[in-house]
Amino acid sequence: NHIFFKIAGKEVFRSKTIPKNLNPVWDEGVSLMLESLRDPLYVKVFDYDFGFQDDFMGSAYLYLESLEYRRTLDVTLELKDPQYPEDNLGSLELSVTLSPKEGDVRDATMLLRRNWKRSSKQHQSMRLSDVHRKSQLWRGIVSISLIEGRDLQPMDANGLSDPYVKFRMGHQKYKSKTISKTLNPQWREQFDFHLYDEQGGFVDITVWDKDAGKKDDFLGRCTIDLSLLSKEQTHKVDLALEEGEGVLVLLVTLTASAAVSISDLSVNMLDDPHERHQIMQRYSVWRSLHNLKDVGVVQVKVIRAEGLMAADVTGKSDPFCVVELSNDRLQTHTVYKNLNPEWNKVFTFNVKDIHSVLEVTVYDEDRDRSADFLGKVAIPLLNIQNGERKAYVLKSKELTGPTKGVIFLEIDVIFNAVKAGLRTLIPIEQKYIEEEPRVSKQLLLGNFNRVKRCIMFLINTGCYINSCFEWESPQRSICAFVLFVIVVWNFELYLIPLALLLPLAWNYILLVSGKDTRQDVVSNLIDSERKGFMNKLYAIQDVCISVQNALDEVASYGERIKNTFNWTVPFLSWLAIVALGVATTIIYFIPLRYIVLAWGVNKFTKKLRNPYAIDNNELLDFLSRVPSNVQVVGELCTFIFVSSFRTKNRKT
């Protein structure tokens, strides 16, 4: 079971899921920012079904006007189904306290009266008030480094566990990687949470043992009380696991920040020449070593949208816009009954990674269920042209094709190149845990085609190099031979990065000259999307066969290498000993430069000396004689059958 809380049609909280229980106890708390007591709190209870639509279990309304200030009330809500009002669907028990955000009760009451006097239309347009806006902004960052675990509880038959850790703070969730077969795991992972409450909060931590094919085992839980930790300081925390055994070792740092903001179009910092100059100075090259985590700042002006999809039966939509950068998320107000909304909002984010992607998504607000998707755009920060007001075509959730409508944005990115370069060498910030990935035939086909194109590129490159040895083009072979001799004879280590610079320079020249090879990639993806259903079905069948054969090929060569050293075929193992001994002697007495040069001269002159010679690879030819495990088992079964048959004949 889990619960949705809504106010004025917008979801404001979602509880955790309690599995397999008709009398669930959530024991969760949440603080909600209210603009008015006029809209009741709408509560809906669902039964969670993995992979299917959740089942509705009842709903109820809590009328906030009936509550008293600064008094905690225990409220029982009877759950009902509007279609079957006579059915008894159980009840929900809440403990509710109504408190003014600031000022005394009299001030809050006056605010309430002013809200009562507003017209309905004005009330809808002002839904994103200052109070509601503050509820979206975070006050700081909680950085948690998961170091290790000690003496965890063994849960598997081998006396060990496969532990991983889950973190939760409000709606923010993370999950660590799984460390196999250990009671003292070393994670060395970092997770960043956004701190919304100025007084701190709690981070709930649970430890689990990963079990394939069945439910994971619970190893224990612990909690971090952030209000007990001082800010701007790293704390080493050893937490003993409750309901389990062992200890978790963490490093916790609380950092104050004002990294995100939202304002009207008339109030934005980059339009003020003085503030823009200060920001440019802040991210100048001369301040590259100051606060390395502060890479830059991005300002997004969400102007308007045109020609949106009609999501309601009236032929209109109630669109609002969500802007995301990594784990930072802000949204505009809702413009009701409009397909050409104007938001005129300015969003400001701190850039922690210049390689992040700015995502702008348009939704249709729906009072009875979750918001409907209307379209999105994803813009890499490095592709943004500062100060250019541009119309972006809205795309599907997967960004594979266009949907209806465009959105007008104006984006500015100011960053420090040195900090951005250093940040590139640090792991990417993980996003909050999303839905578990599901099997997709179309995704499988697309990924296989991507791998196939990479392999074909390597094969074509190998064929091109091999054509130099075959003297298909005498001019090309002569140039390749001369280049090979010069490089091998004068080889130094600095030639390796120099050689890698050559394809970069060559592709840059093609890009500048207008021959952009990246368009081929786009056209290939579009062609794969346009395939018909039957073509995709046959392609998936070919994919399965190809993957099956490739896995067999890789596994067979791996097993043959192992069986060479396992003395599965003694003759081949002795032959390997002789070959390795000769190779060791040659490399010891002859410089490697001469060996490579002799090998290259032999390859280049082989076709000249013997035009009918068949090209071969001696190592692969040797491994083809070593049996794989499948062949060994087959030979063993045949041997057992023959031996058994001979024994029976002797008895006869």
Long-range contacts of 110-116 (CB under 8 A, 24+ apart): 112/36, 112/37, 115/35, 115/36, 115/37, 115/38, 116/38
Q: Is the pLDDT of residue 70 over 50?
A: yes
Model confidence at 45, pLDDT cuts 50, 70, 90, reads confident
3-state DSSP assignment of residue 420 = helix
Q: Is residue 73 part of a domain?
A: yes
Mean pLDDT of the chain: 80
**Cα dihedral sign for 144, 146, 152, 156?**
positive
> DSSP per residue over 509-544, as a string?
HHHHTT--THHHHHHHHHHHHT--HHHHHHHHHHHH
Tokens, residue 187: 């994670």
Q: Is residue 602 part of a domain?
A: yes
Q: What residues make up the domain containing 243?
A: 140-255
Q: Is the pLDDT of residue 185 over 70?
A: yes
Q: Is the pLDDT of residue 256 over 70?
A: no
| pTM reported for the whole predicted model | 0.58
- What H or E segment, with its residue span, contains residue 164? strand 163-169
Last residue of a domain, one of 98, 119, 150: 98
Looking at the fold, whether 411 and 330 belong to one and the same domain comes out as yes
**Cα dihedral sign for 31, 32, 35, 37?**
negative
pLDDT digits (tens, 9 = 90+) for 541-567: 788 888 888 888 899 999 999 999 999
CATH of the domain at 47: 2.60.40.150
Looking at the fold, whether 188 and 330 belong to one and the same domain comes out as no
Looking at the fold, whether 211 and 328 belong to one and the same domain comes out as no
Range in 58-62, 472-476, 477-481, 637-641 with the lowest mean pLDDT: 637-641
Looking at the fold, whether 295 and 226 belong to one and the same domain comes out as no
Q: Are 357 and 349 in contact (CB under 8 A)?
A: no
Looking at the fold, whether 247 and 278 belong to one and the same domain comes out as no
Q: Are 205 and 222 in contact (CB under 8 A)?
A: yes
Last residue of a domain, one of 255, 283, 306: 255
> What does the pLDDT average to over 519-524?
55
Alpha-helical segments (H) within 57-125:
105-117, 120-125
Q: Is residue 442 part of a domain?
A: no
> What does the pLDDT average to over 282-306?
88
- Cα torsion at 140, 145, 146, 148 (round to 10°)? -150
Range in 241-250, 331-340, 389-398, 430-439 with the lowest mean pLDDT: 430-439
The pair phi, psi for residue 351, each rounded to 5°, is: -95, 120
Model confidence at 128, pLDDT cuts 50, 70, 90, reads very low
Looking at the fold, whether 42 and 63 belong to one and the same domain comes out as yes
Tokens, residue 541: 């069948």
3-state DSSP assignment of residue 55 = strand
Q: Is residue 114 part of a domain?
A: no
- What H or E segment, with its residue span, contains residue 561? helix 533-565
Range in 66-75, 216-225, 458-467 with the lowest mean pLDDT: 66-75
Looking at the fold, whether 301 and 411 belong to one and the same domain comes out as yes
Q: Is residue 562 part of a domain?
A: yes
Looking at the fold, whether 238 and 355 belong to one and the same domain comes out as no
The pair phi, psi for residue 418, each rounded to 5°, is: -70, -45
CA-closest candidate to residue 427, choices 231, 145, 185: 145
Looking at the fold, whether 62 and 173 belong to one and the same domain comes out as no
> What does the pLDDT average to over 432-443?
61
- What H or E segment, with its residue span, contains residue 586? helix 570-589
What is the pLDDT, as a whole number, of residue 350? Answer: 84
Q: Is residue 203 part of a domain?
A: yes
Alpha-helical segments (H) within 85-211:
105-117, 120-125, 130-136
Tokens, residue 545: 């066969």
Looking at the fold, whether 334 and 364 belong to one and the same domain comes out as yes
> DSSP per residue over 324-362, as a string?
EETTEEEE-----S-SS-EEEEEEEEEES-TT-EEEEEE
User: Which residues neighbour 233 within 8 Å (Cβ) at sequence distance 6 or greater?
Assistant: 253, 254
Last residue of a domain, one of 226, 255, 284: 255
Model confidence at 121, pLDDT cuts 50, 70, 90, reads very low
Q: How many domains does the chain have?
A: 4
Q: Is residue 617 part of a domain?
A: yes
> What does the pLDDT average to over 402-412?
93
What is the pLDDT, as a whole number, of residue 123? Answer: 33
Of 391 and 101, the structure prediction assigns the larger pLDDT to: 391
Of 197 and 393, the structure prediction assigns the larger pLDDT to: 393
How many Å separate Cα 15 from the centre of its chain?
A: 23
Q: Is the pLDDT of residue 347 over 50?
A: yes
Looking at the fold, whether 266 and 413 belong to one and the same domain comes out as yes
How many Å separate Cα 143 from the centre of its chain?
A: 18
The rounded radius of gyration (Å) of the Cα atoms in the chain is 33
pLDDT digits (tens, 9 = 90+) for 299-344: 999 999 999 998 887 788 889 898 888 777 778 888 888 999 999 8
Q: Is residue 30 part of a domain?
A: yes
- What is the rounded CA–CA span in Å between residue 308 and residue 305? 7
Looking at the fold, whether 301 and 388 belong to one and the same domain comes out as yes
